[in-house]
Amino acid sequence: MGCIILITEEEERQKRVYEYITTTHMLCLLIFVITLILSNRSIFPKNYFYPFANVELLLLLCLLGLVAVLSYITKMRLTQKTSNSLSYIDFFYMVLPLILAVFILFLSHKNLSHTEAILLLPILITASIRGKKAGIFMASVCSLFLIINNVIMQPEEFNIFKAIESCLIYISLMHIVGWFIGGMSDIETKHRKHLTQMANTDILTGLYNHRYFQEKLKEYFQSVSEINPLSLIIIDIDHFKNYNDGFGHLAGDHVLEILGSLLKENVKSGVVARYGGEEFVVLLPGSDSGTAILTAERLKKLVEDYKFYGEEYQPGGKITISCGVATSPVHGVSPKELIKRADYALYKAKSLSRNKVELYISVFEDLSLNENEKESFNSIRTLVSIINAKDRYTFGHSERITDYSVKLAMKLQLSEKCIQQLKYAAFLHDIGKIEADGHILNKPGALDDNEWKILRQHPIWGSEIVKSVSQLVPISKVILYHHENYDGSGYPDGIKAESIPLLARIIRIVDSFDAMTSNRIYKKNMTHSEAIEEIKRCSGTMFDPELTNIFIDIINSKDNKL
């Protein structure tokens, strides 16, 4: 709420400044027009500028057009990013009023008294937009022109000291105006920078905040292309709730501060921001997926090597981070889509093992569809999103099942085609749960007979759903039979042994192992050792004995990082 108020106040302040500057420019130009009209009636003959009746009308139209241009440029300047360098807009602002003022001074000196005052206008404008130093510099330039004009107007008394003496009051006044108006402008600019910094900065970590990140993401997307990619890293602190619960929120805040400093110091090109809670984001314009992965791995190693207070009590004895990486335009063509893909990769990293970097990869990226099937497939993807929202466990579970199943299939040396089908089946094996009510999926206690009857239908429902896409038809039976037991005691058809498709038997083992080792709302998880013993006990009844032995070898392997 505080940031919103600051932003609203800043927008209102910019609007008021824009109105004042525009009005000032209009008044200045009006003075120029009046001065020209009063002092130069006989410079140009009548009808010289056909079809205008006289030059005054032409000058008036030109200067009114100039007012419109200055008004537009003023608005542009107020919305452009603050910079200490002199922009072409600022140069135009400073030089044009100076040229007009000098032109009037030399042209009308004999016709009007106190024309010297016209030189205050470029000083006022310059000081208001560039500050005290520029204002004093412009005052010095205008003083020089004033002295030259006095010398030219009095050639018989060519004495520069007398010329300075005659306009000393004007010279002093011009420097005072430049100093005062410029000083006020410097104060306003400093205040504006302070407000902008407050609105864009996360107070705790000193990084940019969520609002600024969203603005920069939209800005970078305007220039995203195949040769100019944009990568996003979403970072999450592993088991941060455990740390907060154990040491308190002050200690947790200190960890966030340290992590913010590490990210800020080690990401030189890009935007680092706090996304919310214990999540951070890194935007890398011009970086492809490979570069983003290397950056994420480097940041992960930095955090892993840092000695945090009390980290020995964390799972694994260290405070670590997980990272999800996605790149546009490869993984997403809009800001929302890119965030979604990176978040997907992050959740996959946390679901599999934590302290891990994952690049977004779709299980279905190799699936080629005809035009008639694209709508059906998009519906399936929508159903997956809905089931993930209804039961967040299902998403992590499906990712882990896919990973475990592929490892087991590779150990069996199955063909690439079979492994690809297994990926689809493992990821979609619980899609039928979309038909079950959320209260059944998330019920904290045991299900009653009627609820079990409903839930046991999900393999049938899932099998029917995937049949709408021809390339997924071969996995429909895998999904249908993934709860069948080796001894025929499973569901929905009670088939057994070799009658159960091989891919379904693979999913049956890994599905059960992951369910045993995962915390569910209705039961506490087993350790890996306890789950392995349970898998051994059920070998030959629930699980294929041959597959069971191979799977246990994979779980016990030192190379297994799951």
* CATH fold for domain 365-562: Hypothetical protein af1432 (1.10.3210)
Lowest mean pLDDT across 119-133, 355-369, 490-504: 355-369
Mean pLDDT, rounded, for 526-537: 90
Q: What is the pTM of this model?
A: 0.64
Q: Kind and range of the H or E element at 39?
A: helix 2-39
Are 209-361 and 365-562 in the same CATH fold? no
pLDDT, one tens digit per residue, over 546-557 is 999 999 998 887
Q: Given pLDDT bands bounded at 50, 70 and 90, which one contains residue 208?
A: very high
Q: Which two tokens stand for residue 243?
A: 């740390």
Choose which CATH entry (2.160.10.10, 3.10.20.30, 3.30.70.270, 3.40.109.10) describes domain 209-361: 3.30.70.270
| Closest to 485 (Cα-Cα) out of 475, 474, 499 | 499
Q: Does the pLDDT at position 375 exceed 70? A: no
* Ranges of each domain in the chain: 2-200, 209-361, 365-562
Instruction: Give the strands of the sheet with 271-276, arranged side by side.
Output: 271-276, 279-285, 230-237, 321-328, 357-359
Mean pLDDT, rounded, for 421-432: 88
Give the residue, 82 or 381, on which the prediction is more confident: 381
Q: Given pLDDT bands bounded at 50, 70 and 90, which one contains residue 350?
A: confident
DSSP 525: P
DSSP 109: T
Q: Output the DSSP codes for 421-487.
A: HHHHHHHHTTGGGGGS-HHHHT-SS---HHHHHHHTTHHHHHHHHHTTSGGGGGGHHHHHTTT--TT
**Average pLDDT value for the chain:** 80
Which residues have a Cβ under 8 Å from the Cβ of 304 and sit 6 or more positions away? Answer: 318, 320, 355
Q: Given pLDDT bands bounded at 50, 70 and 90, which one contains residue 159?
A: low
pLDDT, one tens digit per residue, over 29-79 is 666 666 666 655 544 444 444 444 455 555 556 666 666 666 666 666 555
Mean pLDDT, rounded, for 313-341: 90
Q: Which two tokens stand for residue 240?
A: 């941060």
Alpha carbon distance 123, 141 (integer Å): 9
CB atoms within 10 A of CB 409: 22
| Closest to 356 (Cα-Cα) out of 268, 235, 262 | 235
